[in-house]
Structure 1
Amino acid sequence: MTPYGSFSFFIIIAILLAPTVILGLRGKRFQSYNIVVSVIVLALIFGSFWNEAIVLILFTIWQVLLIKGYLAYRRKENSTTVFCMAVILSILPLSISKLSPYFFHVHLIGFLGISYLTFKGTQLIMETRDGLIKNNIPIVRLLYFILFFPTISSGPIDRYRRFEKDVKAEISKEQYKILLYDGINKIFLGFLYKYIIGYSINHYFIANLGSIANSHFQNNLFYMYGYSLYLFFDFAGYSAFAIGVSYIMGVKSPENFNKPFISRNIKDFWNRWHLSLSYWFRDYVYMRFIFWVTKKKLIKNRNVSSNLGYILLFLLMGVWHGLAIQYILYGIYHAVIMVLYNSFEHFNKKHKWWPNNRYTKIAAIVITFHFICFGFYIFSGHLIHS
């Protein structure tokens, strides 16, 4: 059963979460019951895929042993070598899952949501290294965080300290009413985005481009715009479902989108699109790279180190989607335009070439929109295979 992929899934979730709603409206704690619900839903999701279920269990044991082991180690020692080994071992299953089809023509390891579960596990190790997580994490709470079912397949990627705060919080009847209201609103928004707007774009526009477009160029142009809008509404709809169900369960999972198509520049776009993933790569890849080159005094020019950080970040993000040529080109494309914009931003601060007024803001939004759409066009693979 695919999460949020059918109306039967929503009916099952509604039935399972009915006691949660009743307890919440009465001001009673419901997190223990929610853990049971998560186990049931995971069994439903993976029940028909025993191979994936076994890999998920083994993967979870692997991550828990790494996290608990590193927590115990960090209270006594702080070796960089041990930390790097823990991070490498944490991302090893994901790396094998992503790379194995290109070398062995089969997925050696893989299951629904392996990327997002890996991000959670690696994040815990990194925050333990930074001293942000010091206390022992109860095994049940750790499992609940890693396997939290509303966000298991495609995020949003939550942070443990924020998640723990929600799980431990006492929620009053009035507070839960607000969460329930917001959660239901987000679920209805998800239906609007994914099953009405997104479906309509894909089914009635993209699928009929052959009869709409008058030329090959026009076909590709229409596809670029159509695919970009479809990708947003489909993914934003899924995210709204995940966040809405999380709210009903008393967990305020982070937002994933913030009007990305009105971004004024490419940096602004990555602060609006797939926020939890963007922030994860920013905090655990880009910032750590900048800190490392600064500490080691490898690069004195901040602009150069920043640009190298962007190149590393977007190349990794592209490869994370897969080794298909369109994903690698997508990563390179965003690395290039981010470096170009970063250089332009530094130039403009000195020379004030691009004024800041209402007309230039509108122009910036239009220009950025087209750069974004072309990036999604590359991502789709249509540029290569059309």
Structure 2
Amino acid sequence: MVNLQPYTDPMYFIILLLALLPLAIALYFGKRLSWYEVIVSLVFIFLMFNGKKYHEGYAIILFMIWQWLLVWAYTLYRKKSNNTVVFYVATILAIVPLFLVKLAPVAHWTHVSTLLGFLGISYLTFRSVGMILETRDGAIKEFNPWLFLRFMLFMPSISSGPIDRYRRFVKDITTVPDREKYLGMLEKAVWYFFLGFLYKFVLSHILGTLLLPRFESLAILSASVHHGWSWWLVPVMYTYGLDLFFDFAGYSLFAVATSYVMGVELPMNFDKPFLAKNLKDFWNRWHITLSFWFRDYIFMRLVFMMMKKKWFKSRLTTSNIAYIINMLIMGFWHGLHWYYIAYGLFHGVGLVINDAWLRFKKKHKVPHNKFTEVFAIFVTFNVVMVSFLLFSGFLDKLWFK
């Protein structure tokens, strides 16, 4: 049987739209076909892990059983008590499968990758951990096994996000949009599908398939002559950065468009990130659901904990330390390689400098006009591109291989 990877070829979209047609018709007439929706999600997940990736199908089943038991058990416990140690243990246990999968390539544990690894494990872990954290806060009070499974295995975003929140998702999945609203969602879905095709199959193809390999080859050739340095790194940097955006933003648009057809308003993941005026503004626009997840569940909690325990006298120091730790964790999440960790540190320090500059501007009343705004966008864009060159791992290939 065919193996279908999400949003990668025309056949996937043909099968997807045919499968979604009954759902769309039912929603148009004010009904939600919950069982059919679940069957569609499960069939597409099965096709995703079919063929040579069948072992990933077993891995996701084991993972889902593990997370289901953890969230259910912690919800039951939270009704009676709220011990911090139990909360930390539950959170760590939820993260363990992802941690082992990330560690496996470095430790050469091929059997671990085979047993636990599957496409989308990071994003499912974010959903599960988010539920535990919100249960701890008292925002989630009941464990509904049916809604938990629908939330975790929501097909459009299972492989690479966007990362939804349980309470927001449940509001959508347990209601039916009125006809006028649903027609508006379908209109947006059509636009997002076409824009996604432009991004992923035209622009990303030109940048990532046609141009980037050539620029990388020229950079490697030039570096061998100039002892490790090459001006060809500049086109590599911009081409990779733009390809990264168009490829991932295109995928995210497909996921959002599919969810809209299913009557669920999955949050957007990108909002013109290269028009950001500073680094903090960039992270409010780039991979929004991930950056907001880290902001809400790591950064804010770090700040609260450090202030509560009075680790530092200054709020400013507390905030700066939290920035660096938060972005370092994001770097480690991408992978246990020096360039991912350096990328996280780069943005952590960058956010500290960014805050310092914003305070300086406010204190000294630095002029703000169209020129300074365009200049800020230009500087931010180039700083981000440098970080993407680091993130790409190409420097590792160029200098250390």
**Does TM, normalized by the shorter one, top 0.5?**
yes
Match of 1:383 in 2: 395
Secondary structure of the residue that 1:209 maps to in structure 2? helix
**1:267 partnered with 2:280:** yes
Per-residue deviation, 1:5: 1.3
**Counterpart code for 2:56:** E
Match of 2:132 in 1: 125
**1:4 partnered with 2:7:** yes
Match of 2:108 in 1: 104
Conserved 8 A contact 1:202-1:226: yes
Secondary structure of the residue that 2:356 maps to in structure 1? helix
**1:195 partnered with 2:232:** no
Q: 1:31 to 1:180 in 2, by over 3 A?
A: farther
Q: CA RMSD in A?
A: 1.6
**1:240 partnered with 2:253:** yes
Match of 1:94 in 2: 98
Secondary structure of the residue that 1:162 maps to in structure 2? helix
Per-residue deviation, 1:18: 1.1
Match of 1:300 in 2: 313
Q: 1:247 to 1:57 in 2, by over 3 A?
A: same
Per-residue deviation, 1:169: 1.4
Q: 1:210 to 1:279 in 2, by over 3 A?
A: closer
**Counterpart code for 2:197:** F
1:207 aligned residue (192, 201, 213): 213
1:45 aligned residue (34, 43, 48): 48
1:113 aligned residue (120, 123, 127): 120
Match of 1:153 in 2: 159
**1:222 partnered with 2:261:** no
115-124 or 215-224: bigger deviation: 215-224
2:329 aligned residue (285, 308, 316): 316
**Counterpart code for 1:91:** I
Cα separation, 2, equivalents of 1:195 and 1:146? 28
Q: Deviations over 1:249-307 (max 9, x none)?
A: 11111010000001110000000000000000000100000000111122121110010
**Counterpart code for 1:119:** F
Match of 1:367 in 2: 379
Per-residue deviation, 1:57: 0.4
**Counterpart code for 1:7:** P
Per-residue deviation, 1:210: 7.0
Match of 2:178 in 1: 172
Cα separation, 1, equivalents of 2:109 and 2:388? 26
Cα separation, 1, equivalents of 2:273 and 2:383? 12
**1:14 partnered with 2:26:** no
Match of 1:59 in 2: 63
Match of 2:367 in 1: 355
* Alignment TM-score, normalising by the size of structure 1: 0.96
Cα separation, 2, equivalents of 1:375 and 1:107? 33
Structure 2: state its 5+ residue gaps.
224-229
374-383 or 216-225: bigger deviation: 216-225
Cα separation, 2, equivalents of 1:86 and 1:113? 21
Q: 1:70 to 1:198 in 2, by over 3 A?
A: same
How many equivalent residue pairs?
384
Q: Deviations over 1:287-335 (max 9, x none)?
A: 0000001111221211100100011011100010101121111111111
Conserved 8 A contact 1:303-1:343: no
Cα separation, 1, equivalents of 2:102 and 2:164? 22
